[in-house]
C-alpha cells in the first residue's frame, strides 16, 4: 500500500515535472564520485554550474553524485528520464552500457556519455585528449626527476588511462633516456586511502615525481610529505601549488555542455562523437609553477603551443610496442581509431596491463 502511494506520488511529481519542462530545458548529470572530490567529478560539476550561469532561468539542472558503475546507474538515468529531463550527461566510462540501455527505452531523451565509444541515435560520446596534457607532464617529469624514477598511479585499466601512461612515458624518455616508470593500478577512480598508500609505496621505491590518473588529492598530500612533486588531475588542485603541484591537467567541460544544451533548445541536437584537446579548450594546462626551472617551463610551453598549432602530435613515430614490434614508422602519426582502443604499452615500459 505504502509503495503504491509512493509510486503514485512519484508519477504525479514526474508529470508535473514534465509539464514544467515545457519552457525550461532540464539537464541531468550522473557523477561517479562526490562533487567535491577535488578532481574529475568536481570538473564536471563546475561545467554544470557554468551551464546554469550561462542560461539562467532557461535551464534547470539536476545531478546525482556517487553513482556506482552498474545497475544503479541505469536506475538513476531511468529516473531522470521519467521526470522530464531533456538531456542527460553520464560522466564516467563505466556508465557506457547503462546509458545505451536507458537510451533505447527513451528515444526522445538525449544522452551524452563521457569517455566511451558506444553511440546511438540519441547517444553522443564526448571525451578530451588528456594525452596531450600527459605529453607536457611527461616532459616536466623527465626533466625534474633526480632519481630517474617516476611513479604513476593508474586507476582502471581502460584505453584512456593506458594512453596517458604511454604519452607521459614517451615524452619523459625523450628528454631523459634513463627514466623509468613504476605503475600501480588501484582499480578505482577514487579511493583516497588507497591512493595515499599507492603514492607512498611508489615514493618508498625511489620515485620523486608522482603522476596520477585518480581523482583525489591524496597522492599530492603524500608527495608533499616526501618532498616529491606531482600534478593536479582533472581539476587544478591549486591548493597544493607551487609545490608539490607543479602543473595540472584541467578538464573544462563547460563550453561543451553549453553548446550541447543549446543544440537541444534549438532542436538541432544530433548524435556526435567529440574528442576535444588543448586547442579546443577542453583540456587545459594549469599554471606551471616556479618550482619548475624556467628552461623546462619554456620547453613544456613550446610543446603545448606546437600541439595547439597542430604541428606536433604526441604519438608520432618511430614508436614500437612494448614487445618490440613496430607500431608507428618514422614520422607516422597515430590515428584516432588506434588511440581510442589503445590497450598496449609502448616500448620501454615494464609490467603488463591488467586485462
C-alpha cell at 216: 583525489
Strands (DSSP E) contained in the chain are 25-30, 59-64, 87-90, 110-114, 123-128, 149-154, 180-185, 209-212, 229-234, 245-251, 273-276, 283-286, 319-320, 326-328
Determine if 348 is a binding residue for another protein (CB under 8 A): no
Determine if 97 is a binding residue for another protein (CB under 8 A): no
Q: Which of 201, 258, 296, 340 binds another protein (CB under 8 A)?
A: 201
Q: Is the backbone peptide bond immediately before 244 cis, with ω within 30 degrees of 0?
A: yes
List the end-to-end C-alpha distance of the chain, in Å, as a whole number.
Answer: 48
Q: Which of 184, 210, 234, 288 binds another protein (CB under 8 A)?
A: 184
C-alpha cell at 146: 633526480
User: Cβ contacts of residue 18 below 8 Å, gap of 6+?
Assistant: 83, 84
Determine if 200 is a binding residue for another protein (CB under 8 A): yes
Determine if 13 is a binding residue for another protein (CB under 8 A): no
Determine if 351 is a binding residue for another protein (CB under 8 A): yes
Determine if 197 is a binding residue for another protein (CB under 8 A): yes
Determine if 355 is a binding residue for another protein (CB under 8 A): yes
What is the nearest approach in angstroms of another protein to the Cβ of residue 243? 13
In the block, residue with C-alpha cell 541515435: 121
Comparing CB distances to another protein, the nearer of 186 and 334 is 186
Q: Which of 192, 242, 255, 317 binds another protein (CB under 8 A)?
A: 192
Comparing CB distances to another protein, the nearer of 142 and 244 is 244
Rounded CA-CA distance 47/261 in Å is 12
Q: Would you give the binding string for another protein spanning residues 216-235, x where CB under 8 A is met?
A: xxx--x--------------
Determine if 250 is a binding residue for another protein (CB under 8 A): no
Q: Which of 52, 120, 158, 206 binds another protein (CB under 8 A)?
A: 206
Q: Quick check: 29 and 91 in contact, CB under 8 A?
A: yes
Interaction residues for another protein, span 110-169 (CB under 8 A): 151
C-alpha cell at 249: 591537467
Q: If binding means CB under 8 A, how many residues of this protein chain bind another protein?
A: 40
Comparing CB distances to another protein, the nearer of 186 and 342 is 186
Q: Quick check: 275 and 126 in contact, CB under 8 A?
A: yes
Comparing CB distances to another protein, the nearer of 20 and 187 is 187
Q: Quick check: 219 and 230 in contact, CB under 8 A?
A: yes
Determine if 70 is a binding residue for another protein (CB under 8 A): no
Comparing CB distances to another protein, the nearer of 179 and 207 is 207
Q: Which of 19, 20, 105, 205 binds another protein (CB under 8 A)?
A: 205
Helix 294-309 crosses helix 130-144 at what angle (to 10 degrees)?
160
User: Cβ contacts of residue 240 below 8 Å, gap of 6+?
Assistant: 217, 220, 221, 224, 230, 232
Comparing CB distances to another protein, the nearer of 229 and 328 is 229
Q: Which of 190, 210, 241, 307 binds another protein (CB under 8 A)?
A: 190
Q: Which of 8, 9, 66, 272 binds another protein (CB under 8 A)?
A: 66
Rounded CA-CA distance 263/173 in Å is 43
Determine if 34 is a binding residue for another protein (CB under 8 A): yes
List strands edge to edge, sheet with 229-234.
180-185, 149-154, 209-212, 229-234, 245-251, 283-286
Q: Which stretch binds another protein (CB under 8 A): 47-55, 108-116, 199-207, 293-301?
A: 199-207
> Footprint of another protein on this chain (CB under 8 A)?
33-34, 36-38, 66, 151, 182-188, 190-194, 196-198, 200-202, 204-207, 216-218, 221, 239, 350-355
Amino acid at each position: 500500500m505504502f509503495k503504491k502511494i509512493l509510486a503514485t506520488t512519484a508519477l504525479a511529481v514526474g508529470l508535473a515535472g514534465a509539464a514544467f519542462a515545457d519552457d525550461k530545458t532540464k539537464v541531468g548529470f550522473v557523477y561517479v564520485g562526490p562533487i567535491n572530490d577535488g578532481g574529475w567529478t568536481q570538473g564536471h560539476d563546475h561545467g554544470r554550474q557554468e551551464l546554469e550561469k550561462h542560461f539562467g532561468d532557461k535551464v534547470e539542472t539536476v545531478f546525482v553524485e556517487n553513482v556506482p558503475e552498474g545497475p544503479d546507474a541505469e536506475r538513476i538515468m531511468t529516473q531522470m528520464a521519467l521526470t522530464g529531463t531533456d538531456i542527460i550527461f553520464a560522466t564516467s566510462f563505466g556508465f557506457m552500457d547503462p546509458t545505451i540501455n536507458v537510451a533505447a527505452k527513451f528515444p526522445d531523451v538525449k544522452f551524452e556519455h563521457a569517455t566511451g565509444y558506444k553511440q546511438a541515435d540519441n547517444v553522443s560520446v564526448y571525451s578530451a585528449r588528456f594525452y596531450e596534457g600527459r605529453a607536457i607532464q611527461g616532459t616536466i617529469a623527465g626533466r625534474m626527476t633526480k632519481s630517474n624514477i617516476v611513479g604513476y598511479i593508474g586507476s582502471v585499466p581502460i584505453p584512456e588511462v593506458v594512453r596517458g601512461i604511454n604519452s607521459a612515458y614517451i615524452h619523459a624518455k625523450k628528454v631523459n633516456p634513463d627514466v623509468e616508470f613504476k605503475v600501480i593500478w588501484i582499480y578505482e577512480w577514487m579511493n583516497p586511502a588507497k591512493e595515499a598508500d599507492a603514492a607512498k609505496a611508489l615514493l618508498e621505491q625511489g620515485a620523486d615525481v608522482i603522476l596520477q590518473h585518480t581523482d583525489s588529492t591524496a597522492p599530492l598530500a603524500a608527495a608533499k610529505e616526501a618532498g616529491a612533486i606531482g600534478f593536479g588531475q582533472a581539476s587544478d588542485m591549486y591548493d597544493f601549488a607551487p609545490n608539490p603541484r607543479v602543473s595540472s591537467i584541467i578538464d573544462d567541460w563547460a563550453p561543451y555542455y553549453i553548446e550541447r544544451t543549446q543544440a537541444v533548445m534549438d532542436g538541432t541536437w544530433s548524435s556526435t562523437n567529440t574528442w576535444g584537446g588543448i586547442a579546443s579548450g577542453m583540456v587545459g594546462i594549469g599554471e606551471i609553477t616556479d618550482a619548475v626551472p624556467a628552461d623546462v617551463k619554456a620547453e613544456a610551453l613550446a610543446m603545448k603551443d606546437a600541439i595547439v598549432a597542430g604541428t606536433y602530435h604526441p604519438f608520432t613515430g618511430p614508436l614500437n610496442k612494448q614487445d618490440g614490434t613496430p607500431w608507428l614508422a618514422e614520422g607516422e602519426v597515430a590515428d584516432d581509431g588506434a588511440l581510442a582502443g589503445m590497450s598496449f604499452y609502448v616500448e620501454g615500459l615494464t609490467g603488463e596491463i591488467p586485462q
